[in-house]
Amino acid sequence: FGSLNASASGIGTTISTEKESVDLDWDSLGFGLVHTDYMYTMKCSRGESFCEGELVPFGNIEISPSAGVLNYGQGLFEGLKAYRKADGNILLFRPQENGTRMMMGAERMCMPSPSVAQFVEAVKATVLANERWIPPPGKGSLYIRPLLMGSGSVLGLAPAPEYTFLIYVSPVGNYFKEGLSPINLIVETEMHRATPGGTGGVKTIGNYAAVLKAQSAAKAKGYSDVLYLDSVHKKYLEEVSSCNVFVVKGNIISTPAIKGTILPGITRKSIIDVALTQGFQVEEKAVTVDELLDADEVFCTGTAVVVSPVGSITYLGKSVSYGSSGVGLVSQQLYTALTQLQMGLTEDKMGWVVEL
Ligand code: COI
């Protein structure tokens, strides 16, 4: 057992940590919750700033039935991952970006937010406290789930009087049951994920509840997930339930431009930069369904899905397949470049990786 005194980061708690890996079947990890040792919580009142948080044993939280988050959906979440390197050190990928995105989302949802520095320190402390749950190199990652919610009571519609920032973690493997094999998507033509002026561009919890019906129907028909169209013209791509989408045609890689209805993914942004450094031309623009159906390759990006190749798209009853079988070359190339960086296997010329 080791001891982690987190007070240097303003956390003010001394906890016992065991560094040696837990005895888990790392090869059968999927994307489901595995309970770990500690979670981080920090509270503040409306109109004030977050100041001091603490690590507490992982477990259920007590919340008023009239909490803002339960009644009116006043909540945001984030997602990022920690990887274990062969030398035992731990790497985070661009955690400041998640902290910044949470601040922007909090502004839209009328919530106070931790500063980026507080966010990153809390993430680091939570990862270190749960170090023994980080999968060995090549066996997955520790998924980090920060939440920000209106935890105070309200009855009439209004911002909650009190807020809770909480981080929990879970070791994870692949998000889709297909693993790294191509996924099959269906284009949704009736239901929409977001509308102009709404909250599609922030990581609010309601955006994810809104896609469950279409996603469940697609899964029942054997599809991996749903690709949404814009709600105005119903012909431009938006995103998949849990990730952003890219289409490849020759040397040009296109992805829907960020315009308020699309989540500004950190993996999306990173893949754009990686693709540019690898000699591709990248276009952030309005991408039509026709371009999707005419593409050489299609892939999705997200923290959870990483880079997931798409094997087929079904639109209005017709299916289009990409490549003969297996992962497209461009998707494979970008997946490898990104994951090697995240796992510390290539030099980080971008300055994206944070070593703990
Ligand atoms: C992530 O990729 O981290 C997300 O937040 C998406 C979630 C649905 C798993």
Which residue minimizes the CA distance to atom 7 of ligand 1? 242
Residue 82 has pLDDT above 70, yes or no: yes
Q: What is the pLDDT of residue 7?
A: 41
pTM: 0.94
CA 163 to ligand 1 center in whole angstroms: 22
Q: How does the average pLDDT of the chain come out, rounded?
A: 94
CA 226 to ligand 1 center in whole angstroms: 14
User: Which two tokens mark 286?
Assistant: 């309005």
Nearest in space to 111 (alpha carbons), one of 151, 84, 79, 83: 151
Q: Quick one: pLDDT band at residue 56, thresholds 50, 70, 90?
A: very high
Ligand 1, residues at Cβ distance < 6 Å: 79, 208, 242, 302-304
User: Which two tokens mark 111?
Assistant: 């919530």
Q: Is 14 helix (H, G, I), strand (E, B) or coil?
A: strand
Q: What share of the chain in percent tops pLDDT 70?
A: 95
Of the residues 43, 81, 177, 203, which is catalytic? Answer: 203
CA 76 to ligand 1 center in whole angstroms: 12
Which residue minimizes the CA distance to atom 6 of ligand 1? 242
What ipTM was reported for this prediction?
A: 0.98
The DSSP bridge pattern shows strands 252-256 and 281-285 to be parallel
Q: Catalytic annotation on 203?
A: yes
Can you spell out the DSSP letters for 243-301? Answer: BEEEEEETTEEEEEPPSSSS---HHHHHHHHHHHHTT-EEEEE--BHHHHHT-SEEEEE
* Nearest-angstrom CA–CA distance, 340 and 336: 6
Nearest atom, ligand 1, residue 265 CA: 2
User: Which two tokens mark 270?
Assistant: 């990173």
Q: What tens digit of pLDDT does each residue of 133-172 get?
A: 999 999 999 999 999 999 999 999 999 999 999 999 999 9
